[in-house]
Amino acid sequence: MTYDTENGTKTIPNVPVDEDGNWTVKTPIDAKDGGTVTVIAKDPAGNLVIRRAASPGMEHAPSVVLQSHVDMVCEKNSGVAFDFLA
């Protein structure tokens, strides 16, 4: 979890989570009033869930889900002519 302070952004590295995914954190003393809290959760498989407060006026908009792969490797079968740069 990260939070804003007068001296920049600080991180609370590990927050206990119960089996239902619920968690609680006491507000840090040096957190800025009206600051933004960003929560990043990682499951055992390494998937990340990032939660952040909505922009003003968008509090009731649906959530956005993004999916990406950073571990994909292109592979060419032998005997097949293919130019990965084309």
Tell me the three state secondary structure of residue 54. Answer: coil
Mean pLDDT score across all residues of the chain: 75
**Domain ranges, residue 8:** 1-86
Beta carbons of 61 and 41 less than 8 angstroms apart = no
The whole-angstrom separation of Cα 34 and Cα 62 is 22
Determine the pLDDT at residue 43: 75
How large a percentage of the chain has pLDDT more than 90? Answer: 3
pLDDT (tens digit, 9 = 90+) per residue, 56-76? 899 899 988 877 777 767 777
Q: Give how many domains the chain has, as a whole number.
A: 1
Band (pLDDT 50/70/90 cuts) for residue 37 is low
User: Strands 48-52 and 37-42, how do they pair?
Assistant: antiparallel
Q: Which residue has the tokens 């939070």?
A: 3
